[in-house]
Amino acid sequence: MKYMGSKRAMLTNGLGTVLRAQMTGVKQFADLCAGSCAVSWFIAENFPSTVISNDLQKYSAVLAEAILGRTEDLDAKTIWKEWSARARLSAREYPLYLKAASFQTIKWAKARRMNVTKARDLCRESEGLITHAYGGHYFSPLQALAIDALRETLPAETKQRNAALAALIIASSRCAAAPGHTAQPFQPTRGAAKFLFEGWKRNVWAYTNSALTRICSRHAMSKGEGKVGSAEELASSLGPNALAFLDPPYSGVHYSRFYHVLETIARGTCKEVSGTGRYPPPEERPKSDFSMPTRSKEALDKLLGILAKNRVRTIVTFPKEKTSNGLSGAIVERVAKKYFDVSKTQTNGRFSTLGGNKSNRKARIPAYEVILTLSPR
């Protein structure tokens, strides 16, 4: 997926070593701000501890449940054969199907704005959730219809459904015609049009099948859970036998702005969208004090205070340099030392600047991240 920070990369570049060293005797592992669930999946697959993966956004809980919710492999071939057959039949029954399919044959370089406008006008006529909200923007009309059809025909059995929905979220992220995240789609301008049309050519069916195959071959050692809620609420329920992992938001913009398309697919509902980014209304976008520069330090202090009071060993990761929410690795370390004995390591990687471009700033930059191991006093 197109993630903001690469915890998956960090797991092979220092973070994995730190986590393994702290897992001895841990009965419960809590990923407080799970996001892409890379850390939750890593712990669940490698240790017999119960993993609770938590985030403010539902798409994260869906990704978590796809692996944490079972302790055995699934038959991806059978699931896909039956699911895709239902979905393809459903897609062809959409009134807009033939018109949507016709857009795939257009030579987009010619009259690009006119053709994109036609695609958007067509999609607005659809009653399909994704097609109506995002067709002609993040997805071509045919891609959007495919996502709607796959979403509407998910398997009925819970474990299969969780795996299938997670696969669809991952595939949609990889097919979205957007620069890294779904904050805004590419536009049919002279410079960005080629990226828009490259995204629109991606095969949603193939990407979903591929993601499903990978997910079905993975599972937890002990059954865990994906939750939607605040980090503070989960932290309050933990005790000394738990290990908490905290990778808090580092952006001064709420993360729901960057993942609203995935959130819509996860929820299966969305009110009328608006703006260039096709955003849902504010009440449907979760907000975190960590993404508010005036409140981020207070939010960190409060959360670490709860963990310290409950004597929960904690691992925290954060970019070394000051970020747009006002925090930095040094600030996080100072706050942590109020409550814990702290040891620190550092790793390097590449991180998203959340909306960078050639005229503003690079989309991804080299960066250092601190890893703090917090031991209760």
Residues whose CB falls within 8 Å of the CB of residue 119, separated by 6 or more in sequence, listed in order: 103, 135, 136, 140, 141
pLDDT of residue 66: 98
* Whether pLDDT at 358 is above 60: no
Note the pLDDT tens digit of each residue in 211-230: 999 999 999 999 999 999 99
Secondary structure of the chain: what % helix, strand, coil (to 5)? 45, 15, 40
Measuring CA to CA, which residue among 310, 319, 325, 370 is closest to residue 343? 370
User: Of residues 115 and 73, which shows the higher confidence score?
Assistant: 73
pLDDT of residue 109: 62
Measuring CA to CA, which residue among 251, 250, 281 is closest to residue 264? 281
For the segment 7-13, the average pLDDT, to the nearest whole number, is 81
pLDDT of residue 90: 96
Q: What are the two backbone dihedrals, phi and then psi, of residue 50, each rounded to the nearest 5 degrees?
A: -75, 125
Note the pLDDT tens digit of each residue in 252-262: 888 888 899 99
Reading the block at residue 229, the tokens are: 């809620």
Residue 259 is classified by DSSP as S
Question: What is the spatial distance between Cα 87 and Cα 293, in angstroms, rounded to a whole number?
Answer: 44
pTM: 0.92
Note the pLDDT tens digit of each residue in 164-200: 999 999 999 999 999 877 789 999 998 898 899 899 9
Domains and CATH numbers, the chain: 7-72+224-249+288-376 (3.40.50.150), 76-216 (no CATH)
* Whether pLDDT at 300 is above 50: yes
Question: What is the spatial distance between Cα 289 and Cα 297, in angstroms, rounded to a whole number?
Answer: 9
For the segment 335-357, the average pLDDT, to the nearest whole number, is 77
